[in-house]
Amino acid sequence: MNMERRLWHISMFIIKCPYCGKRDHSEFSYGGEAHIVRPKQPTELSDDQWSEYLFMRKNIKGLQYERWNHSHGCRQWFNVARDTSNDKIHSVYKMGEKPPK
């Protein structure tokens, strides 16, 4: 394992909880893709449409909008816009707020 790879493994990233402030990412739990809207009439969907809603998620290399929970802190849910290629967090915003441009 080269030095750069080894440093990546011991590095950590900081998430700024909108309620508590900056904390190590180990205090948080990933909650999946953000902004998935439940269908208003699920009984009218085909099985394929329903399984699309339940299981299909983006897996972007780059900026992705995610739900996170401060599970070892205030236990609040919030959204994070994170670049999955380098774990850089572009913004954090509360549930119900629109993602920043």
Nearer to Zn ion, 23 or 50 (CB): 23
User: Nearest-5° angle of CA 43, CA 95, CA 67?
Assistant: 80
Inter-residue contact 25 to 11 (CB < 8 Å): no
Q: Which of 13, 14, 20, 51 binds Zn ion (CB under 5 A)?
A: 20
Nearer to Zn ion, 29 or 84 (CB): 29
Count CB atoms within 10 A of the CB of residue 63: 14
d(CA 68, CA 77): 6
Inter-residue contact 27 to 72 (CB < 8 Å): yes
Residue 34 lies near Zn ion (rule: CB under 5 A) = no
d(CA 58, CA 2): 31
User: For Zn ion, what does the binding mask look like between residues 37 and 76, x meaning CB under 5 A?
Assistant: ---------------------------------x--xx--
To which H or E segment does residue 9 belong? helix 3-10
Minimal distance, residue 56 CB to Zn ion, in Å:
30
Q: Which of 17, 28, 64, 82 binds Zn ion (CB under 5 A)?
A: 17
Q: Which of 8, 13, 14, 19 binds Zn ion (CB under 5 A)?
A: 19
Residue ranges binding Zn ion (CB under 5 A)? 17, 19-20, 70, 73-74
